[in-house]
Amino acid sequence: MTVTRVLVGPLAMLVLSAACGGGPKPAGDAEKGRQAFVEFHCNACHEVADEALPPASVTPAVALGGRVLLPPSEERLREDILLPSSHFAVGYPREQITKGDQSRMPDYSKTLTEEQVTNLAAFLRSRYQQGLPTGTR
């Protein structure tokens, strides 16, 4: 079996999924999620694709959104928000995103309401597009 055959099936499913709208729309209110993103100063460390937000105070800012092969699910985004130390962003200096073995991102599990988490996830999901990342062939 060649690599081409292994990739054709999953790639075809990805294309069909994108053609059908990429699945169900997330719950929550994306505009309220954007407001919470700014209110909780998420933009201090994150930039969001195609979104005019106050600038990040860290360099490089951890990028969210944009064109990706498989956008994160609502569940994955909720986990990222509530359990930021469960895994770390790839492609950034470890000392920028961690302090010891913990994420530098604050623990919001006792700060955010269920509605705020749902709205933040809806906002972030709205900033992803499914497809080949820019610069990929």
Q: pLDDT in tens for each of the 137 residues of the chain? A: 444 444 434 443 444 344 444 445 558 999 999 999 999 999 999 999 999 999 999 888 999 999 999 999 999 999 999 999 988 888 888 888 899 999 999 989 999 999 999 999 999 999 999 998 876 54
pLDDT of residue 12: 39
Q: What is the DSSP string of 64-94?
A: E-EEESSPPPHHHHHHHHH-GGGS--SSS-H
pLDDT of residue 20: 44
Structure pTM? 0.76
pLDDT of residue 24: 53
Q: Indicate the DSSP class of residue 43.
A: G
pLDDT of residue 43: 96
Task: Give the whole-angstrom CA distance, residue 44 versus residue 63.
Answer: 11
pLDDT of residue 122: 97
Instruction: Break the chain into its structural domains and give their ranges.
Output: 25-130
Q: Beta-carbon neighbour count of residue 22 at 10 Å?
A: 16
**CATH class of the domain at 25-130:** mainly alpha
